[in-house]
Chain A
Amino acid sequence: VGFGLIMCASVKYSSRGPALIPRMKTKHRIYYITLFSVVLLGLIATGMFQFWPHSIESSPEWTLDRRSVHDAPLVKLPVSSPIPERGDLSCRMHTCFDVYRCGYNPKNRIKVYIYPLQRFVDEVGVPISSTGLSREYNDLLSAISDSDFYTDDVTRACLFVPSIDVLNQNSLRIRETAQALAMLPRWDKGMNHLLFNMLPGGPPDYNTALDVPRDRALLAGGGFSTWTYRQGYDVSIPVYSPLSAEVDLPEKQPGPRRYFILSSQTAIHREYRTELERLKEENGEALLLLDKCSNLSQGMASARKRCYKGQVYDYPQILQESSFCVVLRGARLGQATLSDVLQAGCVPVIMADSYILPFSEVLDWKRASVVIPEEKLPEMYTILKSIPHRQVEEMQRQARWFWEAYFRSMKAIGLTTLQIINDRIYPYAARTYEEWNNPPVVKWSSVSNPLFLPLIPPRSPGFTAVVLTYDRVESLFRVITEISKVPSLAKLLVVWNNQNKSPPEESLWPKIAVPLRVVRTKENKLSNRFFPFDEIETEAVLAIDDDIIMLTSDELQFGYEVWREFPDRLVGYPGRLHLWDHEMGKWKYESEWTNEVSMVLTGAAFYHKYFNYLYTYKMPGDIKNWVDAHMNCEDIAMNFLVANITGKAPIKVTPRKKFKCPECTAIDGLSLDQTHMVERSECINKFASVFGTMPLKVVEHRADPVLYKDDFPEKLKSFPNIGSL
């Protein structure tokens, strides 16, 4: 209901709406208020719509839920119930994991089953866990069951997650928990079972992995050392910090902070605290060493306060005031402090020898943290000082991003774990390093060139000239004759875009030394010129209009040579520029004699055949249709596409010459007047809005032959005939 209303409103008001908010007139303001009220009303209405019926409908289910937790079936464990084996250190995916259960799956997605809740008790009725199902484990299971990993069909499952909570070993009775695991109907030596544990081990030695015997089960553990972690089998996960949910710390801009190093942990070993205090003595104010507060008034949550010499600080807020934050090991290697520190965008200085960092299988911690051996604690200050400022800023941003994406909730932790396992089972569909590690702002601003290998393709395959033509046969034949003189031409492809007229008979075409093919198109569309025809067998494509006869053979051959040096760019002849029109507040197209170039016209340009694919199948938004409908700007669209994906400017070759208005071909009949320029400017604005950015890059250079215009005998030059026509 709400949606329809909004749609109507937008249609109704858009036709008369104002252009810019600052220049709003009273009349417009009314429109705006109306519009927003409608939106607001819609929001409220939708909200009501969502919640009312929903809560009514699901009320029986809530009771069902409640019943299932409190009245989950009680299972009594006989004393003699089997205990699983301790867990095999040599387990790997290919030995201890049954991959057949995951099978071939076109979506490359594993299916995860969660066991129904049961309450396990021993023979005398004492539960196996002192806390039962914890809030965190419940959150985790709920998140999995809401994700597309979840299946309730046990026969289709690839991975099984017990509903027995083993997050905190302290609350477990080891033997009984193990017996309970072995009683799970599909346990089968723990094959394909995944356990989540954050606090492993117990006194006095605190093992770095869960002590519960678990056969071959995979362990997502929060404090592995290199000795207990089975690389490629277990998953190292963070220790969740409940403060993540309690405290809302807005992201802070990366940059220098009040303190350089901050230590906020309360249970630091005396030897380390002495070292830290020595560092503080040497470096003074740059360090802040906090400890727990000894004399807090009643009622204040001690977890949220830290003290230094009687001064009280809010935790974790104070973490935002420091560039680096110390995360020292405790009894266990994994520390919840790490999560708090990341949330604050403070760069963690991790001192926990042999610790396997959370999700280290996929996360590049070198970009977000500093790992220092415990032994080197005295050198911490010097080490951190040697890190370049810009890197500290990047690490701060990266730290915060890791928290947001992988640490902030049990859901994030759980789904990341599943994704990592998913990546192992379908490695060819695994998430990339960039997807895992680049924060959104980097993903947005960076480019990953699909033609990234530095290659200069050999000259010999030559290029395929693709001539788009409608019915200017005479001119076309002249172009064909001219191009056929270019030494590296491998094939000529004429794209016959006129459906009403057949191409001339074969005998009438110019006789040339290379194969000449004519393809007839079904529709007179501009985008046909960029279609990846099978007939194009070379990497290099020369797109050329049927009236470009002013390019010499030397110029074309030279253009091809330049393209070989820049196979991932557009290499063309006439250059154009986009400019920001401050008065109008929008982009403007410029074809005058400028000192800069940001586009080359595809009326005569070399480019990689790959871009034909991109243009035809991957052009964002409705640009392709828009170009075909307007019969204009296909070249601008191509320039946008290439610049956007490679991050590189095109290359203009050879001097400017009087082209016979190359841009007019598309709009035959119209002279190069203002309409044309306005239309081209509109294209730029349209495309920039579709791309969501202005990808075009401006450069001030063009490519000429090495000896161009040099005082040197012309006959010794490779490309003497440049700029003559």
Chain B
Amino acid sequence: MPVINVEDLTDKDKAVMEVNQLKLEVKLERWLTSKCCEEIKEYIQALVEEDTLVKGISEEKNPFKEKGGCVIC
């Protein structure tokens, strides 16, 4: 794998790199944002009930709770 030292690239090299990259990206097939946002929303809705940081956690089940304390019998 040839090592491309970015410091050695001239302004022209960088411009050519940019054009080639844009030529690749212009061909992308893009989905409708409405469909994409709907999917993200549905993904979250399906999992949010199990999301501890949204729903909270009971003291007994909390792995990070502070342990210790004294009990006087």
State yes or no: do A and B come from one complex: no
